[in-house]
Amino acid sequence: MAGSATPDEPATPTPPAGRASRHTLGLLVALYTLAVAWGVRSIHFWEPSRMDVVLHVAAALALGWWAIVDARGRRHPIPLLSRPWFFLGAGLLVPGYVVWTRRWKGLGWLALNGALWYAVATLVMHVGGWLVFGDEWLRALGMSQDPA
């Protein structure tokens, strides 16, 4: 019968079974490790550093690699000539891929992890700034109560 799916190839992409798969957990560990590194880097934000480039490249590699592995796991792989774009434009293409493949659940997943990533990076920056600079860090933020 023309157009019917064979038993080996499903007609629609199938998501991985119930639990989060290893590559998704690996991505989350990598992204939150990058959030910690970004927070540490932000303590001395006024000094130029190679970490500015390294962190952006590492995030693009992690996001692009995850999208390619995830698409293959869903049995709907990204075409070979399109894969480099998932590394070069990871900030736009990977969130678009997540929303496209997971619909509203993907949008929620992006919002939750984006907010948590920002919170981790900010918390690490402020705790690290307080540890490095002490009360001067808190005074700069207007959070210290100086005895008059």
Given a cut of 70, the residues of the chain with pLDDT beneath it are: 1-20, 146-148
Q: Is residue 8 part of a domain?
A: no
Instruction: Please name the residue that has the structure tokens 């190679």.
Output: 50
Q: Is residue 84 part of a domain?
A: yes
Q: What is the pLDDT of residue 9?
A: 55
Q: What is the pLDDT of residue 15?
A: 55
Q: Is residue 53 part of a domain?
A: yes
Q: Is residue 14 part of a domain?
A: no
Q: What is the pLDDT of residue 142?
A: 83
The rounded distance, in Å, linking the Cα atoms of 37 and 22 is 22
- Provide the number of structural domains found in the chain: 1
Q: Is residue 1 part of a domain?
A: no
> Residues 33-74: pLDDT tens digits?
999 999 999 998 888 889 999 999 999 999 999 999 999 988
Sign of the Cα pseudo-torsion (10, 101, 71, 25, in order): negative
Domain containing residue 86: 22-140
Q: What is the pLDDT of residue 144?
A: 73
Q: Is residue 93 part of a domain?
A: yes
Q: Is residue 15 part of a domain?
A: no
